[in-house]
Amino acid sequence: MESIDKLPWQALKFFYHVARLGRLDAAAECLHVTAGAVSKQIKGLEAAVGTALFVKQGRYLVLNVAGQHLYGACEVQYRALQQALLHIKQQDSDLRVSCEPTLAMKWLIPRLPEFKRRHPQWNVVILAAGGAVDFAGQHVDVAIRRNDFAWPKHVQAHKLADEYMAPVSRTGEHKALRLHSNSRASAWKTWLAQQHEQNAEVADAYAAMPSTTFEHFYLAIQAAIAGMGTAMASLFMVADELDQHILQAEQPFTADGSSYYLLSSNDISTHTKTAEFGAWLREEMGETLTYAFKMKLVRKV
């Protein structure tokens, strides 16, 4: 045969299974066809390559030298195809979620086992990042962001929950040191301005406290857990520590005017994995807020 383009590719599948199993009836059972259909395909393949591929030994068909060469090539290609199909399946089952690092560490990841329990078919891959999202470049399915920046008009946005902020410190302690973070640089300023309208005396007392700054939001929260001082924190990022009485809210949580959104470059509702993840996120964030209101941790402004 001068060109593999003329090779009967369907027959190669039949050949592979006969060579692997050594019997026409076994290959027929594997392929869900009749033994006669298998025999016809093998004869067609032998005619195409111009030589016999098997030697009959009793009930079995054994590969001759030509058959061994062809089977070796088929085996390599089948393994490659299996790996390719596995890779495609894994990619399709991956749900790549971009999330602001502190929210990912302190709120999302601790709750992911529940999502996995409900939807074991999806493999959630967390990418820690904030700000603009490179959906195509990083193969991001969805991103969790606050609306503190402008995203492109083509991006689909579904609101998840409002943001609530409050000063928190280690339970049973209060040190007159404000803990700032560069990644949420305006957090204290926004809260102080808001509080000044409600209770100027409280706002002025916090404003008069000395401060120190950490590079990331989660570092400031960790410093509060360690008892260094008072951090301005998101309810979602300290909900577990409040529930475990590791941290205390020195003042009620109040909405800061921003909200969390689930973003995607595609329509979230038309893809099962993103639709299920979005519904679960809204439910979980709703439960966090319900708990906070029940425990009187939140005050509406």
What percentage of the chain reaches a pLDDT higher than 70?
A: 95
Fold annotation for 4-90: Arc Repressor Mutant, subunit A (1.10.10)
Please write the tens of the pLDDT for every residue from 35-76.
999 999 999 999 999 999 999 998 899 999 999 999 999 988
Please check whether residue 260 is in contact with residue 235, taking contact to mean a CB–CB distance below 8 angstroms.
Answer: no
pTM: 0.72
Please write the tens of the pLDDT for every residue from 238-277.
999 999 999 999 999 999 999 999 999 999 988 899 999 9
Look at residue 83 and tell me whether its pLDDT is greater than 80.
no
**98 alpha carbon, distance to own chain's centre:** 7
Look at residue 158 and tell me whether its pLDDT is greater than 80.
yes
Residue 257: closest CA among 288, 301, 197: 301
Mean pLDDT of 197-219: 94
Return the pLDDT at 301: 59
Supply the DSSP symbol for 6.
G
For residue 227, report the phi and psi dihedrals to the nearest 5 degrees: 90, 20
**Domain 100-294, architecture per CATH:** 3-Layer(aba) Sandwich (3.40)
Return the pLDDT at 80: 80
What percentage of the chain reaches a pLDDT higher than 90?
A: 81
Return the pLDDT at 7: 78
Q: Where are the alpha helices (DSSP H) in the chain?
A: 9-21, 24-31, 35-49, 65-93, 101-103, 109-118, 187-198, 200-207, 217-225, 235-243, 272-294
CB atoms under 10 Å from CB of 180, counted, come to 20
Return the pLDDT at 17: 93
Cα–Cα dist 230/209, whole Å: 10
Domain ranges of the chain: 4-90, 100-294
Residue 115: closest CA among 97, 141, 131: 97
Mean pLDDT of 88-117: 90
